[in-house]
Amino acid sequence: MSVIEVKDLTKYYGKSRGIVNVSFNVEEGEIFGFIGPNGAGKSTTIRLLLSLIHPTSGSARVFDKDVVVHGSEIRRDIGYLPSEVYYYEGMKVIDLLKYSASFYQCDCTQRMKELSDLMELEMHRRISDLSYGNKKKVGIVQGLLHSPKLLFLDEPTAGLDPLMQRKFFDLIRKENARGVTVFFSSHILGEVQRLCTRVGIIREGSIAEISDIKTLQQNNYKKVRVEAPGLSAASFDLPGVTNLQAEDSTVHFFFKGDINAVLQKISGLQVDDVSIEEPTLEEIFMHYYE
Amino acid sequence: MSATIYMHEFRTRLRSVAIWAVSIAVLVIFFFSLYPAFARDATLLNEMMARFPVELREAFGIGNVDMSSVLGFYSFLFVFVQLCAAIQAANYGVGLVSVEETELTADFLLSKPVSRSQVFVSKLLAAFTSLAITDLVLWLSSFIAVLLFRGERSYETSTLLLLFVSIVIFQLFFLSVGLIISLLVKRVRSVTPYALGLGFGMYVLSAFSGVFKDVKLEYITAFKHLDPAYMVEHGAFNTPLVLLNVAVTLVSLAASYWLYLRRDIPAVS
């Protein structure tokens, strides 16, 4: 079952582009990565799905309900961690969390305590006294305390130290294991690679590609590095070779196609070293930007 | 209507309500404590007043009012109460929904399972409650002031009650006009300048409306719609102007509701 169905969703802010004809589905129980550079339309998409803003055209459904019509009903089962966290400055952490919990029909006290302990959040400090990272922790706890079925994470790790990031990822994996669907937006590819099963790549307001993270890595490119005496770039002038670089006696390139063609070339050489690797998502990603 | 939002809003505004209510009560009681002195030299006072140019009297909202009568004097100080009430109500109106955007908490609130219409209605009711508390304090302090300082002089209870009712209509006008302004401008950076501008602006317009008889400024400013001097003199509302006032309030509220439901909440960064 699709938890999120987006169809030809378009949003213009006056004349300036938000997103144009974006379509994708997110299935129940998956962690969907949504990557793109700043200003590509990641936040716009999330804000449309939360009906913080209204679409210019197209439709979006969450839990099989239209987001514009049934917004408040849908949001009962949604947790949202915005990229920039701001809360009522005068309130204490505990009061904000209680206020947040009071919107949901659940007794969240136990879970609130568990989550704050896990994130090492001090409950009795004033929001205005908190550092950015600590505010982010408040955001994480308030986004999760009502046990939502769908999580929107908009660049969630900014401001968290590496240790907290790891705890946070563990927490998200645990939630996911319970069946929670996660929509994870980021421009940091490493974290998407670590966490997500499927990714959508957005650039300049349009979806460039949607695929499994594995197929994205496997079916496309291999990263090849060959080291042999007297090697020059010309030795690997094959169809399917891109980004060919040679320095001293080492050649790097990306290859797409039948890998045997490369292996045959290599077998004719007296090599010192060979490596054929999966490219990182970062390297694939750069490809979409060129 | 969401009780959660209502309570939160009400609590956030509680201190402001206390400060306004106490200030207004102090204003009323101290100002009215001067009344016995005015009443003692009634003829002298009215003679002196008559010597001021009529434009000046109009500008201060005194007009033909007999300052030595209980309600005449009360109507004089009531203009200042109105000024306070206008700024307070405009403040609540302008800040009602815009404060969530200024303080960047709109994302938090509107990603909760509440509809825009629930948010709007709850916030509005909380503001009504805050204004109602201010009114209760005003009524009570006015009543006490009149009882303490009127001496032997009598007054029309019905006219005093009329003034009491008028302040409610007056506040709702500034609340809803402030609200619609906050939704029409692109972004409210700070609430206070708008509230002061609206309150003082209309007060000044009303003062000028007395000076230039021909200019029909009384159609614009709520201080003229609910002119206390008129109410005391006639013992009744200036019905067409009050109807105009209520109409503006209702239209502003309806338009604000319509705009808020369709509003795009600007992103933080």
* A207: region left, alpha or beta (phi > 0 left; psi from -120 to 50 alpha): beta
Question: Are the CB atoms for A78 and A146 separated by under 8 Å?
Answer: no
What pLDDT does A96 receive?
Answer: 92
Q: Which fold has domain A2-217?
A: Rossmann fold (3.40.50)
Question: For residue A289, is pLDDT > 60?
Answer: no
What pLDDT does B51 receive?
Answer: 81
| pLDDT over 70 percentage in chain A | 95
Question: For residue A89, is pLDDT > 90?
Answer: no
CB contact under 8 A, A47 and B265: yes
Average pLDDT over residues A172-200: 89
Rank A2-11, A99-108, A237-246, B36-45 by mean pLDDT and report only the highest.
Answer: A2-11
Give me A98's structure tokens: 């209680």
Is 0.85 exceeded by the ipTM? Answer: no
Q: What is the pLDDT along chain B (269 residues), one digit of tens a residue?
A: 889 999 999 999 999 999 999 999 999 999 999 888 888 877 787 787 778 877 777 776 666 677 788 898 899 899 999 999 999 999 999 999 999 988 889 999 999 999 999 999 999 999 999 999 999 999 999 999 999 988 888 888 999 999 999 999 999 999 999 999 999 998 888 999 999 999 999 998 888 776 666 667 777 889 989 989 889 888 999 999 999 999 999 999 999 999 999 999 888 75
Chain A partners within 8 Å of B110 (Cβ): 50-52
Q: In 3-state terms, what secondary structure has residue A207?
A: strand
What pLDDT does A160 receive?
Answer: 86
pLDDT (tens digit, 9 = 90+) per residue, A134-167? 999 999 999 999 999 999 999 888 888 888 888 9
**B115: CB partners within 8 A, 6+ apart:** A71, A72
Closest CA to B119 of B89, B91, B99, B90: B99
Nearest Cβ partner of B262 from A54, A90, A103?
Answer: A54
pLDDT (tens digit, 9 = 90+) per residue, A32-73? 999 888 888 999 999 999 999 999 999 999 999 999 999 899
- R_g (Cα) of chain A, nearest Å: 23
* A64: region left, alpha or beta (phi > 0 left; psi from -120 to 50 alpha): left
CB contact under 8 A, A75 and B113: yes
> Distance between CA B159 and CA B240 in Å, rounded?
18
Gap from B81 CA to chain A (nearest CA, Å): 30
What pLDDT does A214 receive?
Answer: 77
User: CA-nearest residue of chain B to A99?
Assistant: B4
**Long-range Cβ contact pairs of B162-165 (< 8 A, separation 24 or more):** B162/B231, B162/B235, B162/B236, B162/B237, B163/B71, B163/B74, B163/B75, B163/B78, B163/B228, B163/B231, B163/B232, B164/B135, B164/B138, B164/B139
Q: What angle do CA A46, B180, B168 make, to 5 degrees?
A: 130
Pick the CATH number of A220-289 from 1.10.10, 3.30.1360, 3.30.70, 3.20.20: 3.30.70
Amino acid letter, residue B142: S
| pLDDT over 90 percentage in chain A | 43
> Distance between CA B172 and CA B178 in Å, rounded?
10
What pLDDT does A222 receive?
Answer: 80
Domain ranges of chain A: 2-217, 220-289
Report the DSSP beta bridge partners of residue A200.
A34, A210
CB contact under 8 A, A100 and B108: yes
CB contact under 8 A, B264 and A78: no
Report the DSSP beta bridge partners of residue A273.
A227
What pLDDT does A220 receive?
Answer: 64
> Distance between CA B18 and CA B85 in Å, rounded?
13
What pLDDT does B38 receive?
Answer: 81
pTM (2 d.p.): 0.86
Chain B partners within 8 Å of A72 (Cβ): 113-115, 118
Torsion over CA: A96, A100, A102, A106 (sign): negative
CA atoms within 13 A on the CB side of A93: 21
Q: Mutate one of B105, B108, B119 to test the A interface: name it (highest A CB count within 10 A).
A: B108
What dihedral angle (degrees, nearest 10) is formed by the CA atoms of A161, A194, A171, A48? 90
